[in-house]
Each structure stands twice: as structure tokens, then as C-alpha cells.
Amino acid sequence: MSLPTGGTAMSGRKFVLSFLIVAALLSAPFTKPKTMAAFTSISVYGAWHCGSDFCSWASVRNMTDFDNRNHWMIDRGDGSPSVNLVVLSFVHPLRLLNKTNDAGTSQGVPIGMTQAVVDYFKTRGIRVQLSIGGITYTDAWNQALATNPTQLGLNAAEAAQRLGVGIEIDYEENTNPNLPGLQSFIDAYRSVHPYDASGSNHAARLTIDLAAGDRWLIALARKATADWLRTTAPVLDYANAMVPSRQPNSAATAEADWQEHVDGKPQFAPPILPLAPAKFTGALYIVTGSRAAPECTSFSSSLINSTGSYVQTVTPNGAGSTSGMLGYMFWAAECPATRRVCTVPPNSCEGGVGVGANTYNVPIPMAPLRQS
């Protein structure tokens, strides 16, 4: 079969053009595909709970009223809880040491922190901890640690066993913390409830609060990262990077604080070591004054949403081997302060915290935590 006139020339031109294209492709510099950051699901998604009297828990709650005010925590609208952890705040350290019994305290624990309140959450698969301290009780921490830190640790362990809860250390002494005393407290607690990586013994869950970043509570952060939060020899389960003085105005601001924990502060003398992402949570406000924050009512416009990628992908920088922080903590449920709105209807938090729990597929009950 003969080609039309000019067919041979056209075929030649096509061959040359194809050759040039292939040659160009082969000579182009090879670009390695970008490596995607490992994506780790959120494990801890909890709220500090201040009760109806601004964190004192000084009265026994009517459980019908308690449910009316806090139902959003156990039901985000689809029957599932909005959180997988509640931290009842706060226990007075000196009263716990003395096992005080008075109008507002029983065996050193506020009378409002009852078994009924604990079981309200635990029967829905939500873990519970008691927070010892808070900034208001810093002097009480100092007094208790100076008096008998070992007995304080033993009393905390006993209260945890009695109620079936974990314990959070919230010791906010910035200038000269009694770290030997705190070490004795931890040693005493662990003598009763050894570290339990499985999480099956709720009373063995012992955590600590650190500052939002590494520029406050410096001595505490230095000690915790060096001795208590190492992945190779863990003593405490994890830390919470607490809220700063006000809600961050952007995701970048919040993430910059959290990144300080990941990086550590090598320029400090002595340095603060890096903290494994798997060993801490980041905290956000859910109330910020006279109105509920987007973190409470509107997930789509919240920092829970805009920081989610960072929280689930931040890579280790000197400590740990897996990407992603443990998750989030929220300050604070019900009535945290006299000048802040309470997270009760119509300001309950299903639309923010609750939607976040669904979006991030938060495990309820909480699964065993990553250890590195």
C-alpha cells in the first residue's frame, strides 16, 4: 500500500519530534515526591470540670441538675460523649495531706467530687481524674510538699483507688518549685500504683500540667522532660500543655507554644530537653468571657478545627518516634470563673467540642496510649 504524497516526510518529522520529547524528559532533573507527614489519630480529648461553684466543688450535687447542666458532655447529639476524659478541678493539696473533714471536704477531697459524679462519666466510657492544685492553691502545694510529700502521695493514691480515678498534678510554682518534694510525692504514688502502659488501672493514670510553652514553669518543665516523661523510662503518663493567659488568636500562635515542648530549649542553661509529641496534649479555652467560644459552639470556626492537622502530624524533634500529639484538653466545663459564662444550656458545647469528637473519631472509651 503506497502512502499519499508527503507521507514519508511527515512520518520522519513525527519520529524526530517524539525523540526530542523523550530526550527532554530523560534529561530533566528528578524531583523526589514530597513525603507526607505521618497522621496519628487523637487519643486524649478531655475537659477540666470546675463544677457549679468555680472549681471548689464545695457542695454535693443534685444529679438531676448536674445532668441538665452537663448532658452535652455525655451526649453530643447522637448518643455518644463529647469527650473521653473529665478532670475534676481542684483538690486542695494541704487538705488532702491532712485528710481534712469539714463542711466542704471529706477525707481531703471536696465533698462535691462524689462517686455519683465520677460514675456519671465512667458509666458512659469517660475516664475521670482529680486535679490537685491549680494556680489558686500554689501556696498550699508548697506547704504540703514542705510538710510531708510522701504522705501526700500516699493519700492521693488512696483517694484515686477509692473513687476509681486518676490524678493530675497541677503545681504552678514558677519561681522556685519544690522539685525534691514533688519527686517524693510521685515516688509515693507510684509505690501504690505503678506505671501502667495499658491504662487498665484507672488509678495508675498520673499526669502533670506544664505551661502552654517552655517559657513559664521552666524548672518544672526541665525536670518533667528529663526525668518523668521520657519514652524509655516513663514515670508520668503524659503532660498537658495548659492554656496561656488568653485564647490564642490563631492556629499558628497555639502551635508555636506547643512546638516549644517538641523542640525543647537547648539555649537555656541548663536546657529543657525535647518532649515526645506522644507525651503531651495541648489546651484551648471553651469559654473566653461573657460568651461561649467557637471552641464550644462552632467547630468549623474553632481552633480545634484549624490546629487539627498540626496536632495529628507534628513530628518528633529529639524525643519520641511517632508523629502527632496525644490530643486536646479544654478549659473548662460548667462554671470555671465568676466572670466567665458557664457551659450550660444555652451555651453547652455540643457544636464545638462535640462535633470535634465526631470529626476526629475520638475513641470512647480511651484506648491504650502511644508510648513513644
pLDDT digits (tens, 9 = 90+) for 32-47: 443 456 889 999 999 9
Mean of per-residue pLDDT scores for the chain: 92
Instruction: State phi, psi for 119 to the nearest 5 degrees.
Output: -70, -25
Q: What angle do the packed helices 149-163 and 179-192 form, to 10 degrees?
A: 40
Question: What are the residue ranges spanned by the domains of the chain?
Answer: 39-359
Rounded mean pLDDT, 145-169:
98
pLDDT digits (tens, 9 = 90+) for 251-263: 999 999 999 999 9
Distance between CA atoms of 319 and 35, rounded to whole angstroms?
20
Instruction: Output the nine-digit C-alpha cell for 189.
Output: 504514688
User: Which residues, other chains included, contact 284 with Cβ-Cβ below 8 Å and sequence gap of 6+?
Assistant: 243, 247, 248, 254, 295, 302, 303, 304, 307, 328, 329, 330, 331
Rounded mean pLDDT, 204-209:
98
Burial class (CB in 10 A: 0-12, 13-18, 19+), 164: middle
pLDDT, residue 36, reads 52
pLDDT, residue 156, reads 99
Q: Is residue 173 over pLDDT 60?
A: yes
Q: What percentage of the chain reaches a pLDDT higher than 70?
A: 90
pLDDT, residue 37, reads 65
Rounded mean pLDDT, 212-236:
98
pLDDT, residue 289, reads 87
* Sign of the alpha-carbon torsion through 314, 318, 321, 326: negative
Q: What angle do the packed helices 115-122 and 63-74 form, to 10 degrees?
A: 30
For the entire predicted model, the pTM comes to 0.90
pLDDT, residue 148, reads 98
Residue 9 confidence class, pLDDT cut points 50, 70, 90? very low
pLDDT digits (tens, 9 = 90+) for 322-346: 999 999 999 999 999 988 899 999 9
Rounded mean pLDDT, 176-182:
98
pLDDT, residue 38, reads 81
Rounded mean pLDDT, 130-139:
98
- 10 Å Cβ neighbour count for 361? 9
What secondary structure does DSSP assign to 233-269, as a single string? Answer: S-SSS-EEE---SS--SSHHHHHHHHHHHHH-BTTSS
Q: For residue 91, give Cα distances in angstroms to 98, 106, 120, 156, 163.
A: 12, 11, 19, 10, 14
pLDDT, residue 327, reads 98
pLDDT, residue 43, reads 98
CB 67 within 8 A of CB 30: no
pLDDT digits (tens, 9 = 90+) for 70-121: 999 999 999 999 999 999 999 999 999 999 999 999 999 999 999 999 999 9
User: Which residues, other chains included, contact 249 with Cβ-Cβ below 8 Å and sequence gap of 6+?
Assistant: none
**Radius of gyration, CA atoms only, the chain:** 26
CB 97 within 8 A of CB 149: no
Rounded mean pLDDT, 3-29:
41
State the CATH class of domain 39-359: alpha beta
CB 206 within 8 A of CB 175: no
Instruction: Output the nine-digit C-alpha cell for 134.
Output: 491549680
Top pLDDT among 16 and 120 is at: 120
CB 352 within 8 A of CB 298: yes
Residue 19 confidence class, pLDDT cut points 50, 70, 90? very low
Helix (H) and strand (E) counts in the chain: 13, 10
User: Which residues, other chains included, contact 283 with Cβ-Cβ below 8 Å and sequence gap of 6+?
Assistant: 212, 240, 241, 242, 243, 328, 329, 330, 331
Planar angle of CA 233, 239, 241, nearest 5 degrees: 145
